[in-house]
Chains A and B, each alone.
Chain A
Amino acid sequence: MGDVLIFAEHQGGHFPKATLTAVHAGLDLAKKRGGKAIAVVAGDAPEAAAGEIAKYGVAKVIALAHPALKNYLADAHAQALAALAKKEGAEFIIATATAMGKDLFPRLAARLGAAMASEITAINDDGTFVRPTYAGNVMATVEIDGPIKVLTVRGTAFDAAKPGDSAAPVEKQNAEIDAGALKMEFVSFNATKSDRPQLTEARIIVSGGRGLKAAENFKTVLEPLVDELGAAMGASRAAVDAGFVPNDLQVGQTGKVVAPELYIAVGISGAIQHLAGMKDSKVICAINKDEEAPIFAVADYGLVADLFKAVPEMTEEIKKLKHS
């Protein structure tokens, strides 16, 4: 009872910060429920990555291997993890609500006949969990019944686990997969090319909205500020819909949820769906020419100005600061 299986998502053997937040939450949950935290790394050859995550405070790491786990596909991964969760007698299985976690975990829950709480932001002492609903405008306290409980965590709500001096044992297991039941085929992955930090990893994010007016202006007006700050670039839905920037830069209720140390919103009005994705940032800064824009209500520092003038000025000022 109380054992927690942590699905440690990796990107070619590397663990992004998002994964480490699930590790942190899993360790906390195991401690509160008096169980062990066990990490699982899946792949066709997951041993090296498993050795890496073993340093993060878990009791054991399972390197779950199978040729069908080479590229991520929901059906093979759900089969493998469900069989493992049963075999290990885990009470909880947890991952971060990344695109993969969101795709996989409901399928896994259904396979286990278990209920799932999505994107939890808190683990309460009384056995309940907190999760945001209605674009973060309503926080629901939920309880899960049943011998096994499935959870994803909102990455911004937990710290990243930190590596220690010792490493937990790594146990290699061959995944139980009925290959005849697999029906999905991986075709290709078209990565968004960028040298900038990822949105969910960045310390500073500069996001642009419809106010930027054209893709060209993201390049000439916003990007110099982004790069001067070493920041990640984000966008509102309106900017993505207009084709100014790639889809995976969308911040919000139905895009990425971020909480950097500094979030600068440029030409973004601050619709609730956008706020849902950034309002837990430590410091929020907004530039908008409309002083009534709702973004100002959540901004620590608001500048009512034309962005085409204010953004280059900020970029200049930061350059000066760096050279002083």
Chain B
Amino acid sequence: MKILVPIKRVPDPATTIRVLSDGSGIATDNVKWVINPFCEIAIEEALRIKEKQTGEVVLISVGQSTWQEQLRTGLAMGADRAILVKTDAALDSLAIARIIAKIAGDEKPELIILGKQAIDDDANQVGQMVAEVLGWPQATFASKVDITADKISVVREVDGGLETIAFKMPAVITSDLRLNEPRYASLPGIMKARKKELKEIAADSLGVDLAPKLKIKTLAAPPKRQGGRKIASAQEMVSLLHTEAKVI
């Protein structure tokens, strides 16, 4: 089975993010860049499916040249080849989804697996948009994927419990946190990755409408919460919650 896995480069989740004083962006000087954690889970799931059934795992990123780094890491985890759709422009989710759908049109995968959200813009949009542009079924927030013959059943993390839906391929799946635990790239994996194909395509050569309709005007830090007061005992805590905060 051929599986396409779109991935994004984001700041390491442990990074403390600081907004530039003019609100034009975030300070990137001490930022370590990594594969978005949910995308890592998507890669892992694709690799596990491939290991059970044979096939090919193709990574795709829509971004700048520097994103090669994360694609190489994905190749080192075990993906077979990668495509970087190069652009320096700030694209919105719909433009990115259209690019991925366009590549899917050429690559013809049976499955596209993405992360449910990127931990930088926290939008949670691209997977669902790709599914609609292609007219494919979607299973977002997947915590379990079962594949039989040409049918897939997916357990989804939703409000109040777990939902199971099913459909035929081709289809789009987005990963939740507990779908799997991603592997680390092994040393031989890293060596092999250097020789794997990483193709670059210019985003504006694809004939896709890239003009962003969602524009970021400015960024700001949120108001800071004033905490830090320490209480001596459980008894005093309850008393204060009752008499001072009046919440119990």
Contact = CB atoms under 8 A, between A and B. Distances in A.
Interface in B187-207: none
B242 to A, nearest CB: 6
A181 B167 CA distance: 12
A176 B245 CA distance: 52
A109 B159 contact: no
Nearest to B174: A103
B167 A317 contact: no
B217 A137 contact: no
Interface string B236-248: 0111111001011
A99 B176 CA distance: 12
A116 B93 contact: yes
A52 interface: no
Given A142-B216, A248-B158, A318-B238, A73 B165 contact: yes
B222 A301 contact: no
B143 to A, nearest CB: 7
A247 to B, nearest CB: 5
Contact of B231 (A204, A301, A311): A301
A90 to B, nearest CB: 16
B165 A187 contact: yes
Given A142-B217, A181-B135, A185-B165, A137 B177 contact: no
Chain B residues touching A, range: 35 or more
A119 interface: yes
Contact of A183 (B126, B136, B241): B136
Interface in B103-141: 116-117, 119-129, 131-133, 135-138, 140-141
B242 A321 contact: yes
B94 interface: yes
Interface stretch (A42-50, A62-70, A164-172, A279-287): A279-287
Nearest to B121: A133
Given A262-B247, A282-B247, A138 B234 contact: no
Given A100-B158, A116-B214, A261 B247 contact: yes
Contact of A141 (B124, B143, B216): B216
Given A133-B120, A302-B229, A115 B212 contact: yes
B52 interface: no
Nearest to B217: A141
Contact of B163 (A108, A183, A189): A189
Contacts of A300: 227, 229, 245
Contacts of A237: 177
Given A132-B122, A134-B119, A301-B237, A190 B132 contact: no
B238 A99 contact: no
Contacts of A282: 247
A99 B245 contact: no
Contacts of B168: 183
A141 B216 CA distance: 6
Contact of B26 (A110, A134, A145, A186): A134
B197 to A, nearest CB: 30
Contacts of B124: 102, 106, 118
B153 interface: yes
A297 B227 contact: yes
A241 interface: yes
Given A183-B136, A301-B237, A303-B234, A74 B128 contact: yes
Nearest to B131: A107
A160 interface: no
B196 to A, nearest CB: 30
B161 A189 contact: yes
Contacts of A297: 225, 227-228
A289 to B, nearest CB: 13
28 contacts: A103-B158, A107-B132, A115-B213, A116-B214, A132-B122, A133-B219, A137-B16, A138-B26, A141-B216, A142-B214, A145-B213, A184-B137, A184-B165, A184-B167, A185-B167, A187-B153, A188-B163, A189-B161, A192-B161, A246-B161, A273-B13, A291-B230, A298-B227, A303-B237, A309-B234, A313-B233, A313-B234, A317-B239
Given A198-B160, A298-B227, 9 more contacts: A118-B122, A139-B219, A141-B218, A145-B214, A185-B166, A192-B162, A248-B161, A302-B229, A317-B238
Across chains A and B, which 3 residue pairs bring their CB atoms closest together, nearest first? Answer: A115-B213, A313-B234, A106-B128
